[in-house]
Amino acid sequence: MFEFLSNHMRDAQGRLDSTRGLLCGLGAGVAEAVVVVCPMETIKVKFIHDQTSPNPKYRGFFHGVREIVREQGLKGTYQGLTATVLKQGSNQAIRFFVMTSLRNWYRGDNPNKPMNPLITGVFGAIAGAASVFGNTPLDVIKTRMQGLEAHKYRNTWDCGLQILKKEGLKAFYKGTVPRLGRVCLDVAIVFVIYDEVVKLLNKVWKTD
């Protein structure tokens, strides 16, 4: 999705500036949230909460999904959609903004300057760190909205207000350190593999 959007927003020299990179990342994140992330994250969070409860009711993955759909309908796999769209949209917007900015800085006046995979990995880790500090509060709200106790919240806004009132500002940054370690490595690997796959594809089908 990012590639599709960025191909329509590059200038005559083939450059994608930081602002357009942010918008393309936002579009990619929203599409990702609706099609993939929200249903998968909702199921994952429900399973985690179920398995840590005194009496787990899901016997396995397929049984759990079947029970969720039977009890709550398809919307049971789309709890916290607004929070997920906000979280994933801002997540990818931040990552691609930082990544595009760093790439443009590194390449200077030559948009076709090749990038070493190691440099790409370092830039990816920086972009990952920026996204963690930028949207961990939204990730906390999203997780609460998708859990088994999501019924306590009227909507995304109410969830955020309740967390702030009952647990304070620090609650929005729970899990930041472990998430930082995972996300930096994750994003670094993703961008390196992505760039190498694009290089390979360009030999048979140009994507830049």
Is residue 121 scored above 60 in pLDDT?
yes
Encode pLDDT of 74-117 as tens digits: 888 888 788 889 889 999 999 999 999 999 999 888 877 888 99
Q: Is 195 helix (H, G, I), strand (E, B) or coil?
A: helix
Which is it for the CA torsion 117, 123, 127, 129, positive or negative? positive
Predicted pLDDT of residue 206: 64
Q: What residue has token string 């088994």?
A: 148
Q: H/E/C letters for each residue in 50-74?
A: HHCCCCCCCCCHHHHHHHHHHHHCH
Consecutive H or E run containing 189: helix 176-202
Predicted pLDDT of residue 89: 93
Encode pLDDT of 140-194 as tens digits: 888 788 776 777 888 888 988 999 999 988 888 888 888 898 999 999 999 999 8
What is the chain's mean pLDDT, rounded?
Answer: 87
